[in-house]
Chains A and B, each alone.
Chain A
Amino acid sequence: GDSVTQMEGPVTLSEEAFLTINCTYTATGYPSLFWYVQYPGEGLQLLLKATKADDKGSNKGFEATYRKETTSFHLEKGSVQVSDSAVYFCALRYDYKLSFGAGTTVTVRA
């Protein structure tokens, strides 16, 4: 079935470092792809999305590009802040079903 595999954490970075979280997917059709974020003590919220190949989603300095040829949707941010410390989930949606990866915990130190 459709599934998502994302980079295992935890990831610890210093402020202003570059962040990449890898995400690859397996799907029979053409899914929509998402990154969700869960800040400490809060619910999940959508960070960005891409609905077709070569689309780039972006929000809050984060970017991810839907790469059909490599079945990937890697999340990147050029300069992280302490406030970016959170758990990040890659997800895909095909038909009605929304499936998530295991999550990557990111900690940014001042």
Chain B
Amino acid sequence: DVKVTQSSRYLVKRTGEKVFLECVQDMDHENMFWYRQDPGLGLRLIYFSYDVKMKEKGDIPEGYSVSREKKERFSLILESASTNQTSMYLCASGRGTEAFFGQGTRLTVV
């Protein structure tokens, strides 16, 4: 079975902190994605990566950056967390047409 693992299920951080969300996949997939999920807005793409060290902005990249130094790991970075970044963050990986999702990290910024 494909496994996409996000490092934390729940996280509470303070405004202004630098936050790292980690995602690891075990299926050698080229493509990895970060989304945030908010009620009434569905999933919005923050960043995606189609290869090591390659990244592309999604629909809402502002306030975020990413890192992909190894194929299996895709990190989302909140440079200076703000309360409007309180959300559920979902990581996905895939090859070809299908994507597999992690369980999500619920981040609260206080």
Residues of A within 8 A of B (CB): 1, 32, 34, 36, 42-46, 49, 51, 89, 93, 96-103
- Contacts A/B (CB < 8 Å), 16 sampled: A36-B101, A42-B103, A43-B90, A44-B43, A44-B101, A46-B99, A89-B43, A96-B31, A96-B50, A97-B45, A98-B33, A98-B92, A98-B94, A99-B45, A100-B44, A103-B43
Main secondary structure of the interface of A (DSSP, over half): strand
Partner of A100, one of B43, B94, B97: B43
Contacts of B41 in A (CB 8 A): 102
A12–chain B nearest beta-carbon distance, Å: 17
Contacts of A102 in B (CB 8 A): 40-42
Residues of B within 8 A of A (CB): 31, 33, 35, 40-45, 48, 50, 56, 58-59, 90, 92, 94, 97-104
A44 and B97 contacting across the interface, CB-CB below 8 Å: no
Contacts of A32 in B (CB 8 A): 97
Of B50, B92, B99, most A-chain CB atoms within 10 Å = B99
Contacts of A46 in B (CB 8 A): 98-100
- A43→B103 CA distance, assembly (Å): 5
- A102→B59 CA distance, assembly (Å): 14
The 9 closest A-B pairs by CB, nearest first: A102-B42, A100-B43, A44-B101, A32-B97, A103-B42, A96-B50, A43-B103, A43-B101, A100-B42
- A62→B58 CA distance, assembly (Å): 30
A38–chain B nearest beta-carbon distance, Å: 9
Contacts of A49 in B (CB 8 A): 97-98
A sample of 17 more A-B contacts (CB under 8 A), given A89-B42, A96-B56, A99-B45, is A1-B59, A34-B97, A36-B101, A42-B103, A43-B102, A44-B43, A46-B98, A46-B99, A97-B48, A98-B33, A100-B35, A100-B43, A100-B44, A100-B45, A102-B42, A103-B42, A103-B43
